[in-house]
């Protein structure tokens, strides 16, 4: 059985221990217990809502959560509440991140990132389509999960 494209990419190209598509799991807490039976040491929070709630229950003691965003909560009239915040206390989880705190390091970040890309230590994935007429489908693909990586629409080649 082959893995879905996104899961295959995360596990086999990016080298993560485990991955799954949270949109395909009816019970997030059960999925996390199945995929991470020893708990989660580090989690990069970019989803929020029910996913964050399930992650909090499955964090290891002294685990770390880097918060970047909570896309599932954007544009909602009433965002979901997080019910399991007490896990921050009981499991002594460290949860933080604010890019503005590190903005002064941005030039150094760019320098290192460019170097690491050239050395093959960091790589990225682009999904490229040709022609402006492909832009609507490319945009829709961002919201349906059919695209992987950065979506690029090439309007014209010079």
String of DSSP letters for 87-111: HHHHTT-EEE--GGGGGGGHHHHHH
Specify the pLDDT at position 4: 66
Indicate if the pLDDT at residue 158 is higher than 60.
yes
User: CB of 84 within 8 A of CB of 74?
Assistant: no
User: Model pTM?
Assistant: 0.74
133-150: average pLDDT:
84
pLDDT at 55: 97
Does the pLDDT of residue 83 top 50, yes or no? yes
94-96/126-130 β-pairing: unpaired
Average pLDDT over residues 83-98: 93
CA distance 19 to 84: 22
CATH assignment of 5-106? 3.40.50.720
């Amino acid at each position: 059985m082959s893995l879905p494209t996104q899961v295959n990419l995360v596990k086999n190209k990016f080298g993560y221990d485990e991955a799954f598509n949270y949109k395909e799991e009816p019970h997030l807490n059960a999925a996390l217990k199945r995929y991470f039976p020893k708990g989660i040491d580090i989690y990069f929070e970019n989803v929020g809502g029910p996913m964050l709630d399930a992650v909090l229950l499955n964090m290891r003691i002294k685990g770390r959560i880097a918060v970047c965003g909570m896309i599932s909560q954007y544009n909602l009239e009433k965002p979901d509440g997080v019910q399991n915040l007490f896990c921050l206390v009981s499991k002594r989880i460290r949860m933080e991140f604010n890019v503005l705190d590190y903005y002064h390091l941005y030039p150094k970040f760019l320098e290192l990132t460019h170097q690491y890309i050239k050395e093959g230590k960091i790589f990225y994935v682009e999904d490229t389509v040709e022609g402006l007429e492909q832009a609507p489908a490319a945009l829709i693909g961002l919201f349906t999960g059919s695209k992987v990586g950065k979506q690029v629409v090439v309007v014209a080649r010079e």
